[in-house]
Structure 1
Amino acid sequence: MISIWLIRHGESEANAGLPTSDVTLINLTQKGQQQANKAASAFTQAPSLIVTSPYIRTKQTAQPTVERFTSTPQTEWLVHEFTYLSLDRRHNTAAKERLPMSKAYWERCDPNYVDGVGAESFADMIQRVQDFRQKIYRLEEEFTAVFTYEIFIRAFLWLMLSNTVEINSQAMEEFQAFIKSLKIPNCGIVKLECRNSDIWLNGVSTSHLS
């Protein structure tokens, strides 16, 4: 049996409503750093592998865990945020300012639409999630901690629970409905168990954040 923890990053500057530009370089806030420390304290045993995205906020969230378990190997996987707005349109904007653009993107409901440079399509994001699932099946480590993003976690759970195969406009609508019903707080932990090709959801942990 293999255990996987999916850990949402700590509160970021974007989460706090601050203007941001380069999605790869958004930092944690002071509150986010405190949440990262609490996530590190949630481990009762050393993980066998620590995974982050290439983006800095997952690396900052993982850092207290890395410092606690110095002998655990680390790696990067493509478990980063879903950036559906082009970099020029989101440059130096806060989440509130992007809301009309975000609403228009989801109402368009075209899984293959790419907004511009620096953006990816919904279908591309789902492909990353499917690739991640295949990595899980191939894991040899007994306990892997993956520092990632809320929408990536929710996309993984949606695929796992819905068994969606074809990514079309209907699937995109169903995904939107699903994510409205599932919120994961910053540094919340989704615990999974995997054996062969079966994956079980073992709960969502938030008690360490209190």
Structure 2
Amino acid sequence: MHQLEWIGIIRHGESVGNVAAATAEEKGSDLIDIAERDADVPLSDTGEKQAQAVAGWLDDLSDEERPDVVIVSPYLRTKQTAEIALEGLDIPTVRDERLRDRELGVLDLHTVHGIRSKFPEESERRQRLGKFYYRPPGGESWADVLLRLRSLLRDVAEDHPEQRVLFIAHDAVVSLFRYVLEGLDEEELMSSAKKSPIANCSISSWRWDGEWVNERFNDVQHLQQDDAAHPTAEEGIDAPAV
């Protein structure tokens, strides 16, 4: 069986959707004011600076430490993060739709308040089933996302044996990578997601040593070293994905 040497994953930089979602939640609005479809939401100015901080982190790595390939979600905010972070580096980039964000179906663009107000039955069903297994109409559960991520990891290991692979994706994807690589169960995953919401442009990584060994998780040290690229306020476990 083929195996990777190292896996890293970075959440995209702050998007204009992240800003709009935070504003809508603070105001108690039902809807998030975003004109673009989810796949076309761009980075904010802060998100671009955060991606530049990732570029600095990559530039400081030795040739042996740098990734051999970077695999990116096809969404605009992840592509922009990758373009900024990898500028000037000769690292091949691949896009894979299996890294896309979790799809929310009819709940898309609704705040937590809006879901409770407009979809009370769905809110109750989600509460009963739990976030891991709840699938909104037309959308995906976390378990659904896991199916495509397991497929992706198998293919990547086959295509890049004993290589160092960096992924650039979304917050739920980062959490689910940890679930797969560290063998978490549902309770451990939800506890981790609640205690440590994934920050924009945070870095998580694992190395293979007979099993996957976590090196860092949700690390924002590279952002804290750059005052212009401060970590974005982290989202709660019930926040919409943007």
Give TM-score scaled by structure 2 length. 0.69
Q: d(CA) in 2 for partners of 1:182 and 1:113?
A: 21
Q: Which residue of 2 aligns with 1:73?
A: 92
Q: Deviations over 1:56-115 (max 9, x none)?
A: 11101111133221x3211112112112x21x542xx36455553585563142766643
Q: d(CA) in 2 for partners of 1:94 and 1:31?
A: 24
Q: Structure 1 residues 151, 209: CA separation in 2 closer, same or farther (over 3 Å shift)? A: same
Mapped pair 1:157 → 2:178: yes
Mapped pair 1:181 → 2:202: no
Runs of 4+ in 1 over 6 A off after TM superposition: none
Q: Which residue of 2 aligns with 1:2?
A: 5
The alignment's C-alpha RMSD in Å is 2.7
**Could you list the runs of 5+ residues in structure 2 that have no partner in the other structure?**
22-32, 225-242
Q: Which residue of 2 aligns with 1:168?
A: none
Match among 214, 217, 236 for residue 201 of structure 1: 214
Larger Rg computed on CA atoms: 2
Q: Which residue of 2 aligns with 1:167?
A: none
Q: Which residue of 2 aligns with 1:128?
A: 148
Q: Which residue of 2 aligns with 1:27?
A: 42
**Could you list the runs of 5+ residues in structure 1 that have no partner in the other structure?**
165-170
Q: d(CA) in 2 for partners of 1:98 and 1:61?
A: 30
Q: d(CA) in 1 for partners of 2:140 and 2:100?
A: 11
Give TM-score scaled by structure 1 length. 0.79
Q: Which AA in structure 2 matches 1:123?
A: A
The count of residues paired between Structure 1 and Structure 2 equals: 196
Q: Structure 1 residues 163, 174: CA separation in 2 closer, same or farther (over 3 Å shift)? A: closer
SS of the residue corresponding to residue 205 of structure 2 reads: strand
Superposition map of 1:9-158 within 5 A? 9-18=12-21, 19-20=33-34, 22-43=37-58, 44=61, 45=63, 46-69=66-89, 71-77=90-96, 78-83=98-103, 85-86=104-105, 88-90=106-108, 93=109, 95=111, 98=114, 100=116, 103-104=123-124, 106-109=126-129, 114-117=135-138, 119-138=139-158, 139-140=160-161, 142-158=163-179
Identical-pair percentage: 22
